[in-house]
Chain A
Amino acid sequence: SQTIHQWPATLVQPVGSPLSLECTVEGTSNPNLYWYRQAAGRGLQLLFYSVGIGQISSEVPQNLSASRPQDRQFILSSKKLLLSDSGFYLCAWSGGNRRWNEQYFGPGTRLTVT
């Protein structure tokens, strides 16, 4: 079966500090990978998606970036965090050996920028 991991689970960072969030998927190959952000009491905002190694599409211009160094690894980064970067960051995957467009979410990382 497929599983998706994210870490860390929670993070408190000062404004201006760097960020690195990691997501890995097990039990499937060549998945589509996604990064979403959910602000408190708000809906899901798609940040980045990737259909393959090194292929990143950005949905929202901001101070975040994403990378996919391996088939089942997706990393979200920032050089300098802003207060507005606080939120619940969710990684999701689709494809592989599941129905191609059903998305499955990881447990999420709750980021608080102080």
Chain B
Amino acid sequence: QKEVEQNSGPLSVPEGAIASLNCTYSDRGSQSFFWYRQYSGKSPELIMSIYSNGDKEDGRFTAQLNKASQYVSLLIRDSQPSDSATYLCAVNPYGQNFVFGPGTRLSVLP
């Protein structure tokens, strides 16, 4: 059974700090990896996608992928209270549907 695991949190960081969110997956054949942000009561919003080992940066967000360790992470620099949300990790084994993790709740304290 394909699984995606995340710490449920809550992860609390002070404003301006770096928030580090982690995700592990079980299917070594997975090709594509995504991070979604979900505010309370709202639908998930795609914020990052990553397909190759290494880092991918987009503004304050950096996604890191290590396929050998089956590990993907999201770093949020200069965290803001508006970043407080649940972050969902999603994995897409090639040609198959997404598998979502349970999400990590992030709280950025002013």
CB neighbours (8 Å) of B100 from chain A are 43-44
The proximity string for B residues 78-103 relative to A, scoring 1 for CB distances below 8 Å and 0 otherwise, is 00000000001010100001101111
CB neighbours (8 Å) of A46 from chain B are 97-98
| B62 part of interface (Cβ distance < 8 Å) | no
Using A90-B43, A102-B34, A105-B44 as known contacts, say yes or no to A43 and B49 having CB atoms under 8 A apart.
no
Q: Is the CB of B97 within 8 A of A43?
A: no
Contact among A42, A101, A108 for B102, CB-based, below 8 A? A42
Most buried by A among B43, B45, B92, B98: B43
Q: Which of A16-74 contact B (CB under 8 A)?
A: 34, 42-44, 46, 49, 59
| A95 part of interface (Cβ distance < 8 Å) | no
Q: Is the CB of B97 within 8 A of A105?
A: no
Contact among B45, B88, B92 for A101, CB-based, below 8 A? B92
| B32 part of interface (Cβ distance < 8 Å) | yes
| A106 part of interface (Cβ distance < 8 Å) | yes
A-B contact pairs, 19 of them (CB 8 A): A42-B102, A44-B44, A44-B100, A46-B98, A49-B97, A90-B44, A99-B49, A101-B32, A101-B92, A102-B46, A102-B49, A104-B46, A105-B36, A105-B43, A105-B44, A106-B43, A107-B42, A107-B43, A108-B43
Using a CB–CB cutoff of 8 Å, the interface residues on chain B facing chain A are 32, 34, 36, 41-46, 49, 88, 90, 92, 97-98, 100-103
Pairs of residues from A and B, 9 with the lowest C-beta to C-beta distance, nearest first: A43-B102, A105-B43, A44-B100, A108-B43, A105-B44, A101-B92, A43-B100, A101-B32, A107-B43
